[in-house]
Structure 1
């Protein structure tokens, strides 16, 4: 089960640095600056203390005098936090407690309600400065009041700490989180109630600041909670219409940022000619159009962005209401197809129902008859037909009045399409769980390797003469937003078992069958470095008997006892070995191999797991998953196992 934490606090308190300390990696941008560094909510995750931890970093949510920015950020924060949080972390800088900190604490209680007081831990940053934290709080009346207001739970962080010190402070924090959850349960993010509290807070602030009528209209249309949350949680949706999220997509250099600026009516996104991509990550800005809030999201070139899916999750969750594919007339090609393929992979086939095509640079075509021009572009015409003829045209040489008409027409088309889709966003495609089945002879370290992958000791692992694992066991974790199911298996080799263990072997084969999901399963053959034995060879032979001869094409080889390499490299070990059998196995597995030191802990252990899981994901993504093994006739498989062990070994000797 993952632990979800929300960072709150004024600008400069050290929220981003604290998030990095908790996750043990620099995922949030953190530096000293007079201007705010964090401008939007961001959700990241990692393995900490053997647990999957999700951290949501936020900008200074409560100091903005702009109602739109306030509502946008709070709504995004709530959506990223759903369905529940295990703790709210109020970050305060030691020695710099100000009226802004006090106001932040007050706003937390307004927006997140009184119940937030039972779920909040105060995290003091700048612990590196001398002095006792308890004495410091005791001698400061304002801090005493703050701590008492939130139930007395607090700790301190040194965000420049060594690894050991950081592990200790994170362990202390997670211990306090566990205490809160055990006593109060998780903090349920009921989006309907939070919306009402948010509206009350906006109304109160508006009366204090005497905001004008136009701004009052804006706050009537904050972001909605998203249909996906209602489906997932059963909670009622927000009573206010959601912000309309428009995602600008297209290959590099087509002018997405310029289109975004046109739709916003102001220059927000950077636009210039460059050989390199100008837009490096998703950027967003909102406007009010005909009493509807519209959020325009500019995107980088999908082909050059490594983490585009996570970037889209952070900026559009639970999904955009419209995709606007920007493509200049006469330039539609295979790069546009690649963009569409990426969208399909992330959102599924349904994305086409949410897409409008924007054809730019109408001024460049000689023939003013657009229909005739489109008829000559078969691929583009087919796409337009799939999009139910939903397209619009921009002419950049038009007069200012004509340009405004172009924008209004396009926005009206987008709103109409969204209404046809029931104001529902195009939600992200649900990922199938990734299934890992660990196979190999007894004693190679399958159970220990399973624990490394899971990041926790789920499987019994110890050094014994007799097999420790006698039946299949399953462990689960979340990695990169995807559920991972790991199956530890006993030796699927008859001769490595006692004579009366055939029934256990049959049970193991049946268990493998039940957890083998076609299209999402990868087998991992576990071998010990430096010890390829006859038993290993028999085990591989019987794997072919169970899963089919082609199983090796979709398998990963995992070497254990990586520590035995000392300063040597795994690639050198594999490439320079004289063992023809090992070389053949690696070749049949298409060169997929990695190694584990199962004694590693912390980030080093997680890095090993990441390497294997990334490799397994690539096997699945590339369509290289093993098909459902034969017809899974267990009786026939068992008969083959009983009758053919000597023949299998004989064949192995002949081949190697």
Structure 2
């Protein structure tokens, strides 16, 4: 491999993360000893030449330790963007305690769907299997979530270590499996796993197609079953809309608790972006609540930048842009907002955009499809997102309406042929690139944004770029 192989060890305390790091690197660099208290309290990294490869290993604190998530999450987010990075989720062979089960689930939630595709399970204390196959050992565990996680989330991707016997063969076999996971196009970390260096650009011809890997020996066979890879473990959603549409209330309904400040008053409440993540119906759901378009306290160009920056908080790209509209208040500005989405986030954004109607309790038994058929504005609006819409009653934290929304989003993502919205903006890496990109977007589409915000006072300043470019918005029709 041309690039460095980066391995991130994750899991609970006392499962053998540090010992595994020492086994991989072939020398004792991480502190590992019996203790009643966690030994590893900080993230540490060491690099060695291993079997001809430059290997960097990061050891992390136990996932359930105090403040561990604040230390580990930035590491995971950084390495998801770096080629050659693989996450090793470490478990100890033996009966899975409730604490270990909780640590495993917490690790899976932290990684999300994209992280899981770059992960495998590393079982330690392999000698304790005493001749039993790992698959038989796991299938006997009916009380923890391990069988489901092993089969469905990791697609049975695993390796077994005996950290007391530092044999080179077990490390060599692990590195072979890891190389396969990290062997993909450097410019795209969003593709499904394959045994070729080129990314998978189309679905497999069969749902049960296997990807066999070249192995170092006949005993090192390792396969990834594509249908076992869970594409929708996590969801990243962006709420957009006019003031008073019910974005914050909808965010609270989706997350099942009051995470965003909502109000029944006439003034807009969401004047700043907020991003909240909660486990909902077994999935790690992140919702970005954006400032309402036409915030009277901010000039359009400042509001534009804040909304764009709020969307960029989802560095991996959202699974859905949700345009929130209050039933009975549909107007042309909502239609223009849908028109603006592909201009700001490329044409692919159209495949990930839908409408969420709020105040569904006002229907009073009426059929929403009949209302749409009888309202030209609503029909025109929904044509912009291929008729994808859902209705919420935010007075009720009804999990069924949220479940239906998730199903609709999953169907939308599957129909797109991609894992999430991969617009160019989510591939920018530096502040300078992002600022330049914002300037160009404002130059081209600032007038349309002002039209939606309805705060343009006619002055040239409102239509100028973010940082002084004097070109006018001549591209807006």
Which of 1 and 2 has greater Rg? 1
TM-score (norm 2): 0.49
TM-score (norm 1): 0.37
- Between Structure 1 and Structure 2, the one with more helix by share is 1
